[in-house]
Amino acid sequence: MTAHEGTGRSAGADGEGPGAAAARLTGWAVAGERALSGSLAEVTVDGGRVVVVKRGDGPGATRAEAAGLRWLADAGAVRIPAVHGQDDSWLVTDRVPQGRAGREAAVRFGRGLAALHAAGAPAFGAPPPDGPTDAYIGRAPMRNVPGADWPRWYAEHRVLPYLRRAVDQGTVRPGEAPVVERLCERLPELAGPAEPPARLHGDLWNGNVLWADDGHVWLIDPAAHGGHRETDLAMLHLFGCPHLDGVLDGYQEVAPLADGWTERVGVHQLFPLLVHAVLFGRGYAEQALTVARTALSR
């Protein structure tokens, strides 16, 4: 949930820039750098290789992202940029040379996403190995607290914390909060058949899905944790993904979704919508309230 394009120069609190950080963390000589946004830069190292250097948005952010990237990569199911260095302020990863979206790549990605989810997690809310409990989704804090029951865990650790913050900020009015609270109470009946914890990317909006020039889809910027597989798919629906029908076709080939999954999309979108309400304001709060009312009316 962060921008990946823009202008500006990134520097850490001590004034260190991305080139210096890359050299220190990797031991590679740096030949040049190009700012992409306030927190991202491309750095060219000797030999012409280009890496992406990212400054963390908060305490533990780079640790959480690096752990998530490695955990997703360990599944061997989807393309994930390699981590070349990380400390409390900086993360250095491979750059993904961008290409064009296509249906064949989308179907392949769908199959891979299904395999990634099937790699599993120890529990709902489980962080990646070596990942912190206090992580992030975009710039919003996100706690990875394990739970055994998805409806209860989703309500307590994904929906209600952001609803409370949105109310405290005035983004959701106090009289509007009960509709979301009622949905949380009814989650056991709205959640569909029980599923095992899936290995989630966790922030699977279109900006984190890169269509590469090698004909594959690569995933970046995870908020990885154990969760319900329909949550990743719901986020792809929410923010739009090229050739989404192809992604779903590939996914269903490998791991068919439970009956009624399309009616549960809104339930799974409630979490990212409330996160966006906290970060970006009232428009997302109104979407979240609409989703909750619709789910309750079924």
User: Which one, of 177, 178, 162, lies nearest residue 271 by Cα?
Assistant: 162
- Residues labelled catalytic: 203
A 10 A CB-CB count for 69 gives 24
d(CA 72, CA 179): 35
d(CA 275, CA 273): 5
d(CA 229, CA 123): 13
Cα angle value 11/15/20 (rounded, 5°): 70
134 exposure class (CB count in 10 Å sphere: 0-12, 13-18, 19+): middle
91 bridge partner residues: 54, 86
